Amino acid sequence: MQKNIINQIQACASMQELEELRISVLGKNGSLSRKFAELKNLDEDSKKKTAANLNKEKDEFNKYYNEKAQLLQEKELELKMQENVFNFAYFDDRAKTAAFHPLMQTMDKIINYFVNLNFSIESGPLIEDDFHNFEALNLPSSHPARDMQDTFYFKNKNLLRTHTSPVQIRTMLKQKPPIRIIAPGAVFRRDFDITHTPMFHQIEGLVVEDGDRVSFANLKSLLEEFLIYIFGDVKIRFRPSFFPFTEPSAEVDISCVFCKGSGCRVCKHTGWLEVLGCGVVDSNVFNFVSYENVSGYAFGLGIERFAMLLHKIPDLRSMYEGDLRLLEQFR
């Protein structure tokens, strides 16, 4: 190869210059390409000899070109990394301290309350079968309440659990009373708006004792003390409701934390906000786990709902968007 071509390659200061040189040599109208085009005018012997020399020049050019290209690419990458390097001096002292997500703050606060009352923490799989998620909770296949669950099903008929209640069933199947547990964790339903997400978190509680030692009065007393601990000086009411796995059942409301019960848009001008569901465990549930002569109560609440009320967050979805403008308020 001509010495000046090699010098030109080595003198290129950027990939753009190197590419322009490549086109001038190997492009459609490049100097070496034109020589290849002239081979047709030579006799057979001269064509072979000239073609061999031209291919050698081409290979040599490509060798020097590739070596130079690698050097230039490494240099450009290094410059780009230097331009984009993080300057941590831009961060203020607040960036040196961490904080819990408001959802986790709320969950920890609730868990700590019940752990101090001698509740143990139990967990279960996120992927459940029909028996633990529905059947054993007094929700047979024909039960209309199944339509309320908006369930994610798999092809093998397993499903993403729609509540943490299966943990209660699994706990009762592996141990005998007395039972005093809470089951925190993620659950899944096909729903998405300002107050619902496809994945959210629940804490459910279960107390089971031998005989008739557990009553709705015990449940009511426990939940009233709990809600005052969480929300402070609020009014509390229990409304009769229906849940397949408890009977009698109730939904629990607190006076609106936004308007103090006077009526606003958040509470739909009723002055009340629903916060949890509860009830005395249905005897059919005990039959599924082979419990006899026992009594118990259960309750369940959504962590996101409690977090929204505690921190006055208007849109549930904002807790999952990672927006620092929201999260830095909980430092």
Q: In angstroms, rounded to a whole number, what is the distance separating the alpha carbons of residues 147 and 139?
A: 11
| Burial (CB count <10 Å: 0-12, 13-18, 19+), residue 266 | middle
Q: Where are the beta strands (DSSP E) in the chain?
A: 120-121, 127-128, 159-160, 179-188, 199-210, 236-243, 246-255, 272-281, 294-302
247 is in an annotated binding site: yes
Compute the half-sphere exposure of residue 27: CA atoms within 13 Å on the CB side of its CA: 9
Closest listed residue to residue 232, CA positions, set 153, 309, 133: 309
Contact criterion met (CB below 8 Å) for 301 and 205: no
Burial state string for 31-54 with b = 16 or more CB within 10 A and e = fewer than 16: ebbeeeeeeeeeeeeeeeeeeeeb
Query: Distance between CA atoms of 172 and 206, rounded to whole angstroms?
Result: 10
CA distances from 140 to 132, 135, 250, 302 (A): 11, 5, 21, 24
Residue positions forming the annotated binding site: 247
| Known binding residues for Mg(2+) | 247
